[in-house]
Structure 1
């Protein structure tokens, strides 16, 4: 029986690979044509087609073309050993992707970015660690930050994590209550009492003077990282309402007698 040859068009119809890819594989010696006609047409025999299918299989398994080129020179048994090792890598990636999907869902559903575990087991610092580094960079030379750092250093890692989690829950409670008062004036007694609770939560970690409180309020409204977080509490005007309420509190325009 005469050995059949396939043209590039045939190969494209059989495998779905593009003409450009076949030319690139030829140029890089990954897959050479079995035969080139006098008119320049590239032809591939059944062995070449099988090699192409193996190349496409490895490519789908997330090997680079450089890695595939090396593997194509190995025996089937040697390839299988590499594939067994590669499987472990794919399982780790699968677990990472599952974590990313879970964290994405939590973030979309309103979980604060500081509570996400996305950078665990990563050389990238966690969001909480990034926040701490950012705060130290900006406020590290202030007495207030040094006081905060001293307080944090007294806690174990486990206690610190619990403290952050409880802080997050307490803050969310305050923000939900504030959202219920959004139809009131930011200077109303009810709103200012809640702002006082907000400040007390902050002071579980550090003493907050007026300057720090204003800085936090401005960060809420200007830092895009907070935008999605605050969407869970109120409408599009909630952040502005919160900002105004904090300024009233700082300026002492609320009913201070009710806060004692």
Structure 2
């Protein structure tokens, strides 16, 4: 199959397939003298595997390392994918149920306890931990994990609620200048909260903001609170770091 045919079949862009080829993630079985990429059935099976990994939010660099490993077993990987996707579906089902209840609550149809408002949210799993380790080292990540692990369930719940409140506040300000006094006061709350969980220098804080935009996993989760929030937070965090390091 030609690249356009594969793109139409799968529902991804030709540009994405070209990128996969350029980085050595998915190389077409054959390239004609005219430069046309031709994909075999084996290529399509590998592409399916790659997209399963992407659905689990793995970065392309890590996917490439996994599928190129001599010990990689496609059947075992499919079984793992199924298990993880079922877990993801379960979490999403809980969050959808919470969302439906919240809609009823806002209409005055039902009452909700504070605990019910946060059912389905799970901050005990950190999909970005490996990337954090690569950027800032094991010691900083282990120190942050130890702080969270040392909290009681009530303290962890309070932390989750505080995170949500700050995200909501920042989302309400995302159309204002990120250097404004109001935006800087709000992003300062984010910096203080992160430093209660771990230890972030101003430089690391600025770098984290950039990751919010560079890593689609961060962007997708943050922008759930408001489209463009990740970009706003990056700019506000950068301005905060620059202003406070002078």
Shorter-chain TM-score range: 0.3 to 0.5
Larger Rg: 1
Query: What is the TM-score normalised by the length of structure 2?
Result: 0.46
- The structure, 1 or 2, with the larger RCO (C-alpha pairs under 8 Å, 6+ apart) is 1
